[in-house]
Amino acid sequence: MAYPKVLYMTGCQARSKLELNVVHELIYGVREGVRGVPYFCSRMGFGKTRSDVILLVENLLISHRGHCQVSNGWLEGFCRRHPRIRLRNPACVSKARAVATDTNVLEQYFDILEGILKDDDCFDKPYQFYNVDETGMPLDPKPMKIASKRGEKIQVLLQAERRASDCSRMYKCWKSDDPIHDYLEY
């Protein structure tokens, strides 16, 4: 199995070929010599928990050796040997919000909103709209640590879908004496 030359320039010292595979899988998402989507430190900063990392390593061990024996102590030693990977406390982000940050989803939302505003003939009347944010606080104040590349500033962890913790509503007032009606929820 040959890796591209750029992958050897990471500064990581591996004790075995398997450990080199684990380092590259954790940092770059490399599997079988092909550079994939960065597994840990993608542009949005989503990381994997300690148990996710241990499961990933166990799967690599099973595919290479047919057995596995990975513990939390192994992960701590691995992080000491490879200082580019460390455990950090991330900020919580709901799965719905993480999916909504996709460019296609945002463009589709604004296309729908533009259509609604044009249909109701209120595209040029912004003074009639009120945006009310319910709550933007995550429900999990102290998430578990995730593995990340040293030097990365923003790390986030998808929290489980629970109650409606992040919700916005747009209200439209048709006339000055009319009550405010629910117009759009997102």
Residue 76 has pLDDT above 50, yes or no: yes
Segment 95-119, tens digit of pLDDT: 666 666 677 777 887 888 788 778 7
Q: Taking the CA atoms of 149, 150, 155 and 160 in sequence, report the sign of the dihedral they define.
A: positive
Segment 1-59, tens digit of pLDDT: 343 333 333 344 445 666 666 665 655 554 443 333 344 334 444 566 777 777 777 77
Amino acid sitting at position 102: D
- Each domain of the chain, given as residue ranges in start order, spans 1-121+140-162
- Sheet containing 181-185, strands listed edge to edge, beginning at the edge strand earlier in sequence: 129-133, 168-172, 181-185
Tell me if 146 sits within 8 A of 38, measured CB to CB: no
CA distances from 44 to 25, 37, 39, 106, 120 (A): 18, 12, 11, 15, 36
What does the pLDDT read at residue 55?
A: 78
Angle between the 50-65 and 72-81 helix axes, to the nearest 10 degrees?
90
Tell me if 132 sits within 8 A of 186, measured CB to CB: no
What does the pLDDT read at residue 124?
A: 78
What gap in Å lies between CA 69 and CA 74, rounded to an integer?
A: 9
Band of pLDDT at residue 165, cut at 50, 70 and 90: very low
β-pairing, 146-149 vs 156-159, is unpaired
What does the pLDDT read at residue 112?
A: 82
- DSSP lists the bridge partners of residue 33 as none
Residue 126 has pLDDT above 80, yes or no: no
